Structure 1
């Protein structure tokens, strides 16, 4: 493909607010060249690319300084398929490689785990909530792939959930991390605004081995284990069901029931000021049992008082 201003202007005339350059094995110099022509148009536009994916595929270290200066969002893993297995692989990749991924995300530049497949054919209702919750924790672009003319109401409600969208669109633009994984349970956390921001996700049972894979599971954890230790306690609200759990103190056990391959996404507000968000996501492949607070050195977290 030869890049030229006439071709760029033609694409812009189609009225799309987003343009993507996902050129298989195209020379890497093409991405900044394409971005240069986009900027020349003077029109605001979101620029999506696959630059880091093809560098990783070529066994190269992605040049994220150049990528961030060029693109607004980028793919770094395989294309999503219309299946729960595909969603799980993406979540696993983002968790297993988070130290290399999370630091590159921020306002105006985001990791893109690919489209939402909510409302299509491959996900159950619970799995659809799981994808929506995790994409909110990832601070990922919410690009739908469903036919809006035929989407069922319950899936439409997931995509239009304003409380979950607010987490995704949080002004800090910080991507969340996995802080716990053991025996089919994963807990992810994401800092959010305004002041006193933190996220404590709680995911669900997915492919846990044995009969428990298809059973609802109860998760019990203290907020202190999740890094939330404000002595005033936290007001906790479920963002999908709207359930308010009242004020929970840091050392009191917080319990939730999670459906198979489902998720519980909660927002925690310090009793008088702060905010925190979370999603509990139970998964398989047990690892260490230790809770790790990835944000303990985060200036935001320290400033907001945890």
Structure 2
């Protein structure tokens, strides 16, 4: 009988249902990712600018690639070794208009350098600009008017990542970035496309790049870090697999902040599902810097496959609670307690703040690498000035009296329940017939009714799953 009901449901769904939700919907915004199958989790790697500026050469980059392996960075997930500005000759093009490297500093050429990096099991990234010149003002260094030729050049060198800057005088921002996107796709080589125009200007960027800068250039001080957190958080709804908000490269280990501040900086980039592009000299890291950059438990938050960007859920003055859902079943949350203030302070996360029902939940401290215990309604930790405590909270309670998914109260889960959830999300009804109210439709157990509950209901009816995440 169950198979028959599910077959009937499938027929109904196929015949009459066209989903009002696109493949990715977040907070009501339609998200269309660049379809190159890259960046399904935020990219991890290293970039030359923050530590070397324009003073780069072949030997330094090879040493960085070596250190990426020997330091444990590669094992922690870092894979891109990215050149920033000033790698090219002056002027930057040959008689045929092809970009050429500075052979005094890169005597083996870019293809040989890429081959060396690839031999280490790493990937090679390069820098360009949509204008006539790059930001270092090297004659003929920009890609304006040369997009297809430059994309082919990058592909022939074995480039895996392009950071594309915005030192251009024209106002054709979107068109310029889209021309290089199309040129990269035309090469057939998978190249991660990082838009660097210093601010989020609209949803077109989601369809254009794998990541986009949301902020001005970062600097190695606490004020810059907190400013970039605030600006980057404004476009949180647009982040997801294949398309990420980028609050700029990491400053961890560059020496002008404390290790406590660097730990908070790294924590928040992971909470915001940001690209983790280190910018320090990884050839000679301190133990503290290495421990921050290679903390696999915190990195796992950034790399969570669901791809949800964490957001601030409560605050009191300079004391804040941020939450990032992990996975898709609504039972596990990453929580960061952030203290922007000048003195240490207790910060509390309530389960209600992070959409978990009151009841037992286990807490693990991801910097201390220890389990803290089980707590019924929340957790409090003392957080140092300019510091962060990062927690993994796992819910462990389900109300056994609720038949999740049976929103009409009929005792069975069928196409009518599915239709009612759809109508609720579209605003056509405000409550469900079942006596347990809205809670019965919360099939993922995260305390709210979203498109994810709708999708899980469909999967249940089609036989793809046989129980809901809320049914622990």
- TM-score, with normalisation over the residues of structure 1? 0.79
Kept in 2, the 8 Å contact 1:178–1:187? The answer is yes
Please name the residue that 1:237 is paired with: 364
How far does residue 199 in structure 1 lie from its aligned partner after superposition? 2.9
Kept in 2, the 8 Å contact 1:196–1:301? The answer is no
Quote the Cα distance in structure 2 between the aligned partners of 1:91 and 1:124. 18
Quote the Cα distance in structure 2 between the aligned partners of 1:227 and 1:204. 19
Query: Aligned match of 2:231 in 81, 85, 93?
Result: 93
Query: Aligned match of 1:144 in 278, 281, 296?
Result: 278
Kept in 1, the 8 Å contact 2:194–2:210? The answer is yes
1:110 aligns with 2:236: no
Please name the residue that 1:12 is paired with: 155
1:79 aligns with 2:217: yes
SS of residue matched to 2:281: coil
Which runs of no fewer than 5 residues in structure 2 stay unpaired? 1-143, 399-445, 455-467
1:50 aligns with 2:199: no
CA change 1:301–1:225 in 2 (3 A) is: farther
Higher RCO (CA < 8 A, seq sep 6+)? 1
Output aligned runs, 1:1-306, within 5 Å.
1-25=144-168, 26=170, 27-28=172-173, 29-51=175-197, 53=199, 62-64=201-203, 66-95=204-233, 98=234, 101-193=235-327, 195-206=329-340, 208=341, 213=342, 215-229=343-357, 231=359, 233-250=360-377, 253-271=378-396, 296-300=448-452, 304-305=469-470
How far does residue 52 in structure 1 lie from its aligned partner after superposition? 7.2
SS of residue matched to 2:226: helix
SS of residue matched to 2:283: coil
CA change 1:149–1:52 in 2 (3 A) is: closer
CA deviation map 1:37-76 (0-9, x unaligned): 10111111110113572xx6xxxxx341x32221100012
SS of residue matched to 2:236: helix
Quote the Cα distance in structure 2 between the aligned partners of 1:6 and 1:93. 35
Quote the Cα distance in structure 1 between the aligned partners of 2:160 and 2:390. 30
Kept in 2, the 8 Å contact 1:238–1:244? The answer is yes
SS of residue matched to 1:254: strand
Quote the Cα distance in structure 2 between the aligned partners of 1:202 and 1:177. 10
Quote the Cα distance in structure 2 between the aligned partners of 1:301 and 1:220. 29
How far does residue 220 in structure 1 lie from its aligned partner after superposition? 3.2
CA change 1:268–1:82 in 2 (3 A) is: same
Aligned length: 265
SS of residue matched to 2:326: coil
SS of residue matched to 1:143: strand
- TM-score, with normalisation over the residues of structure 2? 0.52
SS of residue matched to 1:229: coil
CA deviation map 1:115-155 (0-9, x unaligned): 01111112211111111111111111101101110111111
How far does residue 34 in structure 1 lie from its aligned partner after superposition? 0.4
Kept in 1, the 8 Å contact 2:326–2:332? The answer is yes
Quote the Cα distance in structure 2 between the aligned partners of 1:186 and 1:37. 43
Kept in 2, the 8 Å contact 1:52–1:63? The answer is no
How far does residue 248 in structure 1 lie from its aligned partner after superposition? 1.2
Kept in 1, the 8 Å contact 2:362–2:395? The answer is yes
Could you say what the CA RMSD is over the residues aligned between the two structures, in angstroms?
2.5
